[in-house]
């Protein structure tokens, strides 16, 4: 039998670069929320892929951003700490944007600490003129000496095999840390809460969804039929936001719940009865106890 290998890879990069889209594409399951709004991911999310003798463990992290409250301070710390704990970093850059100073600082630090870094230039599907990529790649190569630079499109699933090939070269002989059929370490309740939060991010405007946390109060299969009862609480940080989440005659909440139920049923492969309640916790993103009780600090 071939020797077993494993590798831990942290997905790092600016918010909105496409890290979570890439994680889902790499493992072939939707475990991380994705949205066009910045700061979607709030905690570390582990995705596992085992192919033959190699086990790849991908760690998705909150995107780099300028913190504005205690919650985003925790998120940034999680992001920064995660890079030094991995065997290699997959540094994701949105190639349609200018390189940000946070990209430069992070790439410089990785080079200085001699952490193996693979730069992924994401969203190449949006690049009209691909010839512009060459000088950018050369500049990155000369300044930061990454192990490799790979142009990819997470949403088109383009370049994934190249990522696995390069990661495979870096994998070391080791036992597999997770069972070969496992694809995440996220508990089912966390996955369910995240699926609901994703819909809130997608359906609500700017400031409202960023101040939302979702908890699952109950998740239980009925004994007499194939039905999963899920009861969720959506916490907002202001009274006015609660009204927006519920909407006129409850229309918005209905839309959110129905869209979330669709995803939950697909994921858990069972009919779901979803009840959502909306509550207010004033300014919770600046309160350590609440941040901790929502599972958002490590």
Ligand X SMILES: Nc1nc2c(ncn2[C@@H]2O[C@H](COP(=O)(O)OP(=O)(O)OP(=O)(O)O)[C@@H](O)[C@H]2O)c(=O)[nH]1
Which residues 6+ apart lie within 8 Å of 11 measured at CB? Answer: 19, 20, 22, 23, 58, 59, 60, 61, 90, 92
Q: Report the C-alpha dihedral over residues 193, 196, 202, 204, rounded to 10 degrees.
A: -100
Tell which residue, 283, 276, 288, 281, has the closest CA to residue 192: 276
User: Among candidates 164, 195, 162, which has minimal Cα distance to 29?
Assistant: 195
Number of residues that bind ligand X (CB under 6 A): 23
Structural Rg of the chain based on CA atoms: 20
Alpha helices (H) along 70-129? 70-84, 101-112
Residue 160 vs 280, nearer CB to ligand X: 160
Work out whether 40 is an interface residue with Mg ion (CB under 5 A). yes
Which of 155, 162, 259, 293 contacts ligand X by CB under 6 A?
Answer: 155
Q: Structure tokens of 232?
A: 């969720």
Of residues 21 and 78, the one with the C-beta less far from ligand X? 21
Residue 119 sits in the site that holds ligand X (CB under 6 A): no
Neighbours of 20 (CB within 10 A): 28
Q: Which residue stretch of 11-19, 227-235, 255-263, 278-286 sits at the interface with ligand X (rule: CB under 6 A)?
A: 11-19
125 binds, among ligand X, Mg ion, none (CB under 5 to 8 A by kind): ligand X
Contacts to ligand X from residues 13-32, by CB under 6 A:
15-21
Least distance to ligand X, CB of residue 254, Å: 24
Q: How far apart (Å, rounded) are the C-alpha atoms in residues 109 and 111? A: 5
Distance from the first to the final alpha carbon of the chain: 39
Contact 5, 171 (CB under 8 A): yes
Which tokens is 267 given? 């994921």
- Which range binds ligand X by CB under 6 A, 121-129, 163-171, 192-200, 232-240? 121-129
* Residue 43 in contact with Mg ion, rule: CB under 5 A: no
From 6, 43, 46, 122, residue interacting with ligand X (rule: CB under 6 A):
122
Q: Determine which helix (DSSP H) or strand (DSSP E) holds 8, and give its type and residue range.
A: strand 5-13
Binds 123: which of ligand X, Mg ion, none (CB < 5-8 Å by kind): ligand X
Range in contact with Mg ion (rule: CB under 5 A) among 41-49, 98-106, 118-126, 132-140:
41-49
Nearer to ligand X, 146 or 159 (CB): 159
Among 16, 41, 72, 184, binds Mg ion (CB under 5 A): 41
Count Cβ atoms below 10 Å from residue 100 Cβ, excluding itself.
Answer: 17
Cβ proximity to ligand X: between 62 and 209 the closer is 62
How many angstroms separate the CA atoms of 267 and 195, rounded?
10
Pick 121 or 253: Cβ nearer Mg ion? 121
Given the complex with Mg ion, which of 5 and 123 has the nearer CB atom? 123
9 lines the binding site for ligand X (CB under 6 A) = no
Tokens of 46: 């582990």
Counting contacts by CB under 6 A, is residue 75 touching ligand X? no
Q: Identify the DSSP state of 131.
A: G
Cβ proximity to Mg ion: between 18 and 151 the closer is: 18
* Residues lying near Mg ion in the complex (CB under 5 A): 19-20, 40-41
* Residues lying near ligand X in the complex (CB under 6 A): 15-21, 34-36, 38-41, 62-63, 122-123, 125-126, 153-155
């Amino acid at each position: 039998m071939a020797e077993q290998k494993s590798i831990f890879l942290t997905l790092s990069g600016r918010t909105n670069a496409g890290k979570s889209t890439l994680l889902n594409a790499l493992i072939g399951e939707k475990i991380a929320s994705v949205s066009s709004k910045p700061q979607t991911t709030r905690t570390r999310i582990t995705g596992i892929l085992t192919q033959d003798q190699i086990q790849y463990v991908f760690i998705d992290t909150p995107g780099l951003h300028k913190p504005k409250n205690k919650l985003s301070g925790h998120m940034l710390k999680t992001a920064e700490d995660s890079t030094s704990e991995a065997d290699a970093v997959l540094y994701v850059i949105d190639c349609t944007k200018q390189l940000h100073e946070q990209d430069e600082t992070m790439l410089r630090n990785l080079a200085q600490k001699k952490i193996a870094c693979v730069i992924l230039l994401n969203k190449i599907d949006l690049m009209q003129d691909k010839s512009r990529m060459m000088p950018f790649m050369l500049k990155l190569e000369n300044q930061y000496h990454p192990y490799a630079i790979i142009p990819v499109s997470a949403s088109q699933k383009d370049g994934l095999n190249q990522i696995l090939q390069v990661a495979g070269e870096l994998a070391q002989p080791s036992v597999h840390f997770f069972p070969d059929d496992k694809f995440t370490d996220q508990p089912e309740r966390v996955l369910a809460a995240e699926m609901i939060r994703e819909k809130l991010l997608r359906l609500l405007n700017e400031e409202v969804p960023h101040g939302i946390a979702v908890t699952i109060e109950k998740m239980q299969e009925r004994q007499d039929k194939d039905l999963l009862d899920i009861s969720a609480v959506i916490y907002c940080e202001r009274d006015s936001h609660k009204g927006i989440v519920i909407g006129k005659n409850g229309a918005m909440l209905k839309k959110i719940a129905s869209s979330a139920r669709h995803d939950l049923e697909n994921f858990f492969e069972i009919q779901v009865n979803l009840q959502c309640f909306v509550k207010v916790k004033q300014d919770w993103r600046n309160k350590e106890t609440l941040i901790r009780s929502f599972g958002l600090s490590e």
